[in-house]
Amino acid sequence: MKTLKVLLRYTLATIVSLALPATPFPAHAAEQKAEVKSPVAKENGVQSKNEEWAKTSPHQYESWKKTSESETLEDLLKKKPQLPILWAGYAFAKDYNAPRGHFYAVQDNINSLRTGAPVSPVTGPLPTACWTCKSPDVPRLIEEVGEKEYFTGKWAKYGSEVVNPIGCADCHDSKTGELTLTREYLKRGLTASGVDVAKLNNDDMRSLVCAQCHSEYYFKKTEETDAKGEKKATLTVTFPWDKGFKGEDMEAHYDALNFSDWTHAISKAPMLKAQHPDYELFVSGIHGRRGVSCADCHMPTKKDGDVVFTDHHITSPLDNIANTCLTCHSESEEEFKEIVGIKLERKEQLMELAMDSLAKAHLEAGKAWESGATEEEMKDILQDIRHGQWRWDYSIAGHGSFFHNPEETLRLLAQANDKAQQARVKLAAVLAKHGVIGYVVPDFSTKEKAQALAGIDMDKEIAAKLAFKAALLQEWNEEAVAKGRLNMESRKGMSDHSSYSK
């Protein structure tokens, strides 16, 4: 957004109290590309092996590889024991960790208890679509077999195919090296939201390459009977963007379809799970509105001798304030760390309130059913719970939302708390009607207690996963190596953390 950037300078200099540095905006990498070789990784097809790109782009490759340094695993179910209650009946209640570096995307997907323990290509709980945001093998596969075939079948179908973590060919064209959208569903989502995709330029791409994965989505199901008379389900990643980017807009999209991700195991509410609407929240935040791109903060320009290149070590911009925030602002590093810290603290407070209210609403609804409440009595209440939890999840599922768009995050959290409290007021009346007065929900103050209330047998889940890792996973890797899709060297030094085997 070059024109915007010029405009930006004046906006900042004239209106904003955050002072600008004396130097003008640095020309970003797009303008300096001539200094770096444009990579042609493969003449035909998609080059999904990241190490192959190192030959033409060593600086970008080496910096990309540094995403492996973000390897600490944070078990969020432990940190926030309300979560197993909120997600009771859904796989997220078993395992949910904070994001790590892109280097771990495939490994974390495999290790997650959410992907289960398949024993063959046609078993396991999840569809192929669950690989979609994990690897450049996905655009390679889609080019080879077509989008429809890719989105049909079980996750285990592609265990030996999807083996390289998020990398070059997720964001770059293998033939021209240009930034490109490798996921058609993003183009469809943008079109539905009113964007003319033919008019997108390289500056737009500096955010849109991220939006391919850091967005809200659901799996749209189509069923068909094949020649052998067998039923086949295709689950296609779809962005619910036709009504707008606000939490309520997407809620309206799902409500209109009568869509739910699952039925809550305790409250029986028809639930929605938000994914990670980083892009949507960012767009309406102040940086997004002023034309700052994801890459401006997460992929700053870096120098190595004479070579100026884009730093591909995508991580927290706070680890590199001098090269990110301070290219536009002129506060001190300490000041900026404090600003982000304050935003985080505000979000934490409201988030805790919303999560507590929602968890209690689920448990009280469970008690109401037990006490003989009727469908009619519960209908409204369950809708409040659905909408309240959606708004909470939508506001915080993108882990940077509190910074990308603080006001919107807080607004949605307040809404979530209000909806949950409305449900609880109505529940008190229903419970009283069925003779239950002064009900106090059971203790869910630890992950273990909350998972027990959610009815999860963790020992069984973990044992099955370890058996899968010892058997089928080994076959996948051997086949991937034999077929030339995976170079084991590329995984050298990779630790194997998970929430259940630290």
The closest of 95, 93, 76 to 84, measured between CA atoms, is: 93
List the interface residues with ligand HEC, window 288-317 (CB under 6 A).
290, 292, 294-299, 309-310, 312, 314-317
User: Least CB distance from residue 227 to ligand HEC, whole Å?
Assistant: 34
User: Least CB distance from residue 242 to ligand HEC, whole Å?
Assistant: 20
Cβ count near 312 (within 10 Å): 23
How far apart are alpha carbons 212 and 338 in whole angstroms? 31
Cβ-closest position to ligand HEC? 400
User: Least CB distance from residue 305 to ligand HEC, whole Å?
Assistant: 14
User: Least CB distance from residue 23 to ligand HEC, whole Å?
Assistant: 12
List the interface residues with ligand HEC, window 415-474 (CB under 6 A).
none
DSSP 315: S
Sequence-separated (6 or more) residues with CB below 8 Å from residue 173: 179, 180
User: Least CB distance from residue 481 to ligand HEC, whole Å?
Assistant: 20
**Which residue from 88, 113, 142, 179 is in contact with ligand HEC, where contact means CB under 6 A?**
179
User: Least CB distance from residue 330 to ligand HEC, whole Å?
Assistant: 11
Say if residues 480 and 486 touch (Cβ distance below 8 Å). yes
Q: Binding of ligand HEC at residue 115 (CB under 6 A)?
A: no
List the interface residues with ligand HEC, window 381-400 (CB under 6 A).
399-400
List the interface residues with ligand HEC, window 200-219 (CB under 6 A).
202, 206-207, 209-210, 212-214
Q: Binding of ligand HEC at residue 53 (CB under 6 A)?
A: yes
Size of the site for ligand HEC (CB under 6 A): 79
Q: Which amino acid is at 17?
A: S
Cβ count near 84 (within 10 Å): 27
Q: Binding of ligand HEC at residue 336 (CB under 6 A)?
A: yes
Sequence-separated (6 or more) residues with CB below 8 Å from residue 466: 501
Stretch that binds ligand HEC, among 238-246, 252-260, 335-343, 376-384 (CB under 6 A): 335-343
Sequence-separated (6 or more) residues with CB below 8 Å from residue 407: none
Question: What 3-state class would DSSP assign to 223?
Answer: strand
The closest of 331, 304, 305 to 318, measured between CA atoms, is: 331
Burial bucket for residue 498 (CB in 10 Å: 0-12, 13-18, 19+): buried
User: Least CB distance from residue 270 to ligand HEC, whole Å?
Assistant: 27
Instruction: Output 407 or 443, the one with its CB closest to ligand HEC.
Output: 407
User: Least CB distance from residue 413 to ligand HEC, whole Å?
Assistant: 16
How far apart are alpha carbons 183 and 142 in whole angstroms? 9
Question: What 3-state class would DSSP assign to 54?
Answer: coil
Stretch that binds ligand HEC, among 24-32, 362-370, 384-392, 416-424 (CB under 6 A): 24-32
User: Least CB distance from residue 340 to ligand HEC, whole Å?
Assistant: 5
Instruction: Output 100 or 387, the one with its CB closest to ligand HEC.
Output: 100
Instruction: Output 31 or 380, the one with its CB closest to ligand HEC.
Output: 31
List the interface residues with ligand HEC, window 119-158 (CB under 6 A).
133-134
How far apart are alpha carbons 158 and 491 in whole angstroms? 19
**Which residue from 47, 48, 60, 267 is in contact with ligand HEC, where contact means CB under 6 A?**
60
CA distances from 35 to 28, 29, 344 (A): 12, 10, 39
Instruction: Output 207 or 422, the one with its CB closest to ligand HEC.
Output: 207
Instruction: Output 384 or 408, the one with its CB closest to ligand HEC.
Output: 408
User: Least CB distance from residue 444 to ligand HEC, whole Å?
Assistant: 24
Q: Binding of ligand HEC at residue 96 (CB under 6 A)?
A: no
How far apart are alpha carbons 32 and 177 in whole angstroms? 15
How far apart are alpha carbons 154 and 219 in whole angstroms? 13
Question: What 3-state class would DSSP assign to 340?
Answer: helix
User: Least CB distance from residue 360 to ligand HEC, whole Å?
Assistant: 27
List the interface residues with ligand HEC, window 364-383 (CB under 6 A).
none
Stretch that binds ligand HEC, among 52-60, 154-162, 386-394, 422-430 (CB under 6 A): 52-60
Q: Which amino acid is at 64?
A: W
Phi-psi bin for 429: left (phi > 0), alpha (psi -120 to 50), beta? alpha
